[in-house]
Amino acid sequence: MTVERRSPLHGLRRLFRGVAPDVVGLLVTQGKISAAATSAFLEWSKGGGDSQVLRTLEHDADDARRALLTALRGALATPIDQEDVYILSERCDRVVNAVRDIALEAEALAWKPDQHAAGMAEHLHAGMTALVEGFARLRRDFDQAGTAADQVRAEARTVVRLYRDAIAELYRSDDLQAALVGRELYRPYARAADLLEAVADRLWYVVLADV
């Protein structure tokens, strides 16, 4: 992994941690709403959820992100680099948008999620939950934040493995149309996992940069 060169202000920001706005707290708040969204997505993927709940939570996550960006804009100094906070927030937002879009596209195609979808959604939610824990650890324990990032990556990679298993089963089916539609709806689960892993990668970068 290549570590980017830090701004000369990076060390100064760390000196002002005691007076900085609670951007980590705001990031955790966005993360908790994002976890609520992946939980709602899991329920939808099990066949018992409502996509409208996902829409509402996606808007709530956007509001939380705006509050965080407002705090960043007015901050003289922050506990971790402002660019890192921005990127963590932005990448987390992409995951929420991705799971919302899966539900909306599935409804447009009249596709009902199955056990494969439910399994992938379960690990997406577990990954997002671990990510929130990682965000919270940025307040006091960067080593544990790295451990949480590793868990997120493991969950994301499990989603990709389950995606491959689901695709393999589809192509053993005699129903070609169902296989084609299923492939189009399974694939975004794997993309959502890639987006989740991208947040974990940046979280690890923050951990390494604080050394």
Boundaries of every domain in the chain? 18-209
Residues 6+ apart with CB under 8 A from 178: 170
- Banded pLDDT at 21 (limits 50, 70, 90): confident
**Where does 20-116 show beta strands of DSSP type E?**
none
Angle 165-168-171 from CA coordinates, rounded to 5°: 150
CATH number of 18-209: 1.20.58.220
Give residue-wise pLDDT tens across range 95-128.
Answer: 999 999 999 988 888 888 999 999 999 999 999 9
Residues 6+ apart with CB under 8 A from 79: 13, 14, 17, 20, 23, 24, 138, 139
- Mean pLDDT of the 3-11 span: 49
pLDDT at 181 > cutoff 80? no
